[in-house]
Amino acid sequence: MDLQDQLKNLFPDHEPSQEIEEVSSEPKELWIQKEPMICKYEKRKGKPTTIISGYTGEDEDFKILAKEIKSKLAVGGSFKDGEIIIQGDYRDKIMAILKDKGFKVKRVGG
């Protein structure tokens, strides 16, 4: 007995719909700005963090960028107050990723 038969036994009045929703999986185009983004190093509570700020586009685009950076570097981080906070000192790698995407990046601090 497969799953469809079991469902029919449980819900005899239910008619399954044949509509299939299409989900577009095409990557969203990020807005490239003219001003450079700031990539700086800080210690917060004794731990090294890399902070990326200065993006003038929409917050949703910046969140997508944060998720992509975190997944490429396999590190933790967050998005707060218009800044991407990455755990660890990854300035060089982050700057390379952003430059490959077409952003201008300025390194601040040490």
Does 52 score more than 90 pLDDT?
yes
Does 71 score more than 90 pLDDT?
yes
Least confident of 8-12, 23-27, 57-61, 77-81: 23-27
Q: Which tokens is 19 given?
A: 């509509």
Task: Report d(CA 101, CA 13) in Å as an integer.
Answer: 53
Q: Cα separations (Å) of 110 from 34, 52, 86, 94, 96?
A: 24, 15, 17, 15, 17
State the residue range of the domain holding 43.
33-108
The predicted-structure confidence for 11-47, as pLDDT tens digits, reads as follows 888 776 776 655 554 555 666 777 889 999 999 999 9
Flag whether 11 is in a domain.
no
CATH number for the domain including 61? 3.30.780.10
Flag whether 68 is in a domain.
yes
Q: How many CB atoms lie within 10 A of CB 72?
A: 12
CB 92 within 8 A of CB 71: no
Q: Is the whole-model pTM more than 0.75? A: no
What ranges make up the beta strands (E) of the chain? 37-44, 47-53, 77-80, 83-87, 105-108
